[in-house]
Chains A and B, each alone.
Chain A
């Protein structure tokens, strides 16, 4: 199987799975996704020389993927009809199949065409295409009545956090296992400053900066005592902080302090304890008030925050600071010898990483309009780490892709998949199988397997940064066999 066929099949399998688990109008979406993946991958290497050649390749790849997606659509309809799901009908099938195929071919063609353009535009055009899809998505969603938008906003929040974690882990090489703590700090700052809880009602546009600043300050506070630590110990201390923060917000509903019988601080409710802070004010924008029932403004708000964050992060990576991070990650000793101030560099990595988590936390608090300590547990930190690793540490595109894949799998694919399996099991008539609750139980197992398999098979992630890929493959010829570890240099 050559590369192009493999690309088309990869896209097709994505489309098939999506169409199979969701059914209905999602088939069109499956076509778009399958065609896009096939179009991008199928024309990646060797790149087509002209837009026309690219378009031809793209159409082919898109159609192959589209056929697979259409098989998924047909299978799903067959299952629905044969198990007599209410509302299932075979009447709309021909249109659905044709639409899936057509959209897949069109998307493949479009991306193939872009890939054939002369140099800077093959890349820029790709980004423009993806951004255009992202902007068009709410309208596609509305037109097809998919109602995915409410599920996608949290996905983007998590992608934002993964980008922040990528600064700490991917750029600076500091393994942080308690990153969700900063998310919690950002969200609770928002909760305290913009809600009836304390009666402080600052506008969202100010609070989001305060939340980011508070998270950054906590990043420095939690980072400073860990400066002399390295590698494993750093990971453990961050894990410890990551556990202490949720326990604290869970228990700080009665906070009082008395010294020698003198009550210094009366009994106050700081965090609402297990009940959390509810409600939190929603933002308003030039007179428009954000509503829970209207997801589109929220979607564009988080898209804007994400876009600005990506811009900042790219600038950071290429700045003097970003290059210092890379140097420090590769070899602390050499970096220090080259005049890099390790203390500042490390603390700034913690602070910058926490900042983006603070943004995410503030948005999350305002979007959900409530926060509970349960949302910030160790699983969240691990899930974020999983995204960064799956996509490719240190590579923004990779981290975004990893975040999208894991979050989509978690929030859309697995619930739908479990619905389907549950549905099939109900019809199977076996008592033991009937009870197993797929959605909630297999999520973490899937994460675990992802982590292990990725580490064994492809430790550099799906889209690795070039440098990282060479580091992680010991057997590559241009490196000496024995390698010092990534995160510490062994003093001889």
Chain B
């Protein structure tokens, strides 16, 4: 009880300062952002089709951000570690799948009958590889630090992130003949990913109905990314909610010691969380590679931070929250790209992250996370 009293005393003392900080942030918002926001709203109303197109892009981005965000949330939910290396696992997933694409001679001209099974195979192999990678990272860099002060694994994760980023860079030098030239000629430059998903417009028939003014596009590419992501998200959700192993994961997340007493193998459960997160990140890497058509070794950092923001926005540790957060971040960054400027998008996302953490650290769907943080 005494601790509670002291705690609340600190909160009370921190309150005026924190309030000043919050008011300053709000004033900043009103002064500098309210007018642009108003202008943006006007633009949105003026051209609803453009808005819809951006929403579709946002939805697609949101789908893969949610996939990555789940990795953060699963891991944080169980070991309370921000796995900074996760974004780079996603990036390596993209590189791995690109190498496989080269290995299997896949390109735009491969007939559909061959292409679809191969794409599924690559998806599976990539997910497997990144899952193993993520579990290996946990085994090598985090497990020994599990009972160390929290800072230690966090810094270790930062270190792993830098190592993986450079592995991605070195991968660019891997111009094996077997890869059929997918790595390009410059190791550092973005690699171009063959457009395996057709860019045909699904909404083309509607154009005949509404006439020339109808320019809205929804390509097969968008659809595939959204569908695969949603299937994976649902599968994960069912796995965690319905199976016995999923139950063990939730129990471990709630109280590791009690779970161990109930006969749950905690080490294995934690490894499983890393495996699942890694698999989803790998899938995201492959999907984004096909969707965007490029892979860069620096992708991991930005994508990781965006996804982490998504996880925090939804309420870290909460699976549904990560999905919702991913979707919102995808939409926000697509809108920011269009209506503000692509060069400000990262600042918008990070600003949002700061705002969420300051005003509602529990996220949208989280409840009692503040104790954990």
Contacts and interface: CB of A to CB of B under 8 A. Distances in A.
Contacts of A292: none
B159 A491 contact: no
B158 interface: yes
25 contacts: A221-B21, A224-B18, A225-B358, A226-B21, A226-B357, A228-B18, A228-B361, A236-B357, A241-B350, A241-B354, A244-B347, A248-B347, A258-B35, A259-B35, A382-B162, A436-B187, A441-B170, A444-B162, A448-B163, A448-B166, A451-B156, A455-B155, A455-B156, A471-B149, A485-B150
B239 interface: no
A141 B21 CA distance: 50
A483 interface: yes
Contacts of A445: 162-163, 165-167
Given A343-B17, A444-B166, A456-B145, A247 B10 contact: no
Interface string A218-235: 000100111111111101
A260 B153 CA distance: 50
A451 B158 contact: yes
A351 B343 CA distance: 30
Contact of A227 (B21, B169, B343): B21
B6 A333 contact: yes
B13 A229 contact: no
B308 interface: yes
B145 A455 contact: yes
Interface string B143-162: 01101111111111011111
Given A236-B308, A472-B152, A448 B13 contact: no
A251 B343 CA distance: 7
Contacts of B149: 471-472, 483, 485-487
A452 to B, nearest CB: 4
A385 interface: yes
A488 to B, nearest CB: 7
Contact of B148 (A233, A251, A459): A459
A435 interface: yes
A240 B6 contact: no
B214 interface: no
A89 B157 CA distance: 47
Contacts of B147: 474, 482-483
B250 interface: no
A250 B343 contact: yes
A450 B343 contact: no
Interface of A: 175, 221, 224-233, 235-237, 239-241, 243-244, 247-248, 250-251, 257-260, 332-333, 336-337, 341-343, 347, 378, 382, 385, 389, 432, 435-436, 441-442, 444-445, 447-453, 455-456, 459, 471-472, 474, 482-483, 485-488, 490-492
Given A227-B18, A441-B169, A342 B13 contact: yes
B3 A333 contact: yes
Interface of B: 2-4, 6-7, 9-11, 13-14, 17-18, 20-22, 24-25, 31-32, 35, 80, 82, 141, 144-145, 147-156, 158-167, 169-170, 173, 175, 187, 301, 305, 308, 312, 341, 343-344, 346-347, 350-351, 353-354, 357-358, 361, 371, 373
Contacts of A247: 343-344, 346-347, 350
A6 B51 CA distance: 68
Nearest to A482: B147
B7 A491 contact: yes
Contacts of A448: 158-166
B315 to A, nearest CB: 13
Contact of A240 (B31, B153, B162, B351): B351
A236 B354 CA distance: 8
By Cβ-Cβ distance, the 8 closest A-B pairs, closest first, are A451-B159, A448-B162, A225-B21, A224-B21, A445-B166, A486-B149, A448-B163, A452-B159
B153 A455 contact: yes
B10 A332 contact: yes
Contacts of B167: 445
A134 B318 CA distance: 54
B355 to A, nearest CB: 9
Nearest to A484: B149
Given A175-B151, A236-B353, A447 B159 contact: yes
B312 to A, nearest CB: 7
Contacts of B7: 333, 491
B71 to A, nearest CB: 16
A236 B311 CA distance: 12
Nearest to A226: B358
Nearest to B144: A456
B328 to A, nearest CB: 17
Nearest to B257: A482
Question: Among the interface residues B3, B159, B346, which one has the most CB atoms of the partner chain A within 10 A?
Answer: B159
A432 B172 CA distance: 12
Contact of B152 (A260, A455, A482): A455
Contacts of B350: 239-241, 243-244, 247
A449 B373 contact: no
B373 to A, nearest CB: 5
B280 to A, nearest CB: 21
A422 to B, nearest CB: 14
Contacts of A450: 159
Given A237-B357, A385-B158, A483-B149, 13 more contacts: A229-B357, A229-B373, A240-B353, A257-B35, A341-B13, A444-B165, A452-B156, A453-B159, A455-B148, A455-B153, A455-B156, A474-B147, A485-B151
Nearest to B346: A247
A190 to B, nearest CB: 23
Given A228-B14, A491-B371, A243 B156 contact: no
Contacts of B10: 332, 336, 342-343
Contacts of A226: 21, 357-358
B227 to A, nearest CB: 32
A123 to B, nearest CB: 30
Nearest to A177: B158
A229 B361 contact: yes
A333 to B, nearest CB: 6
A333 B7 CA distance: 7
Nearest to A442: B166
B6 A336 contact: yes
Nearest to A381: B158
A221 B82 contact: no
Given A228-B14, A241-B354, A247-B343, A447 B162 contact: yes
B343 A435 contact: no
A118 B169 CA distance: 54
A235 B150 CA distance: 12
A447 to B, nearest CB: 6
B173 A436 contact: yes
Nearest to B5: A337
B194 to A, nearest CB: 24
A472 B148 contact: yes
A175 B152 CA distance: 11
A206 B150 CA distance: 41
Given A227-B14, A389-B155, A444-B162, A233 B150 contact: no
A452 B343 contact: no
Contacts of B145: 455-456, 459
B25 A232 contact: no
A491 to B, nearest CB: 6
B191 to A, nearest CB: 16
A310 B243 CA distance: 59
Contacts of B301: 378
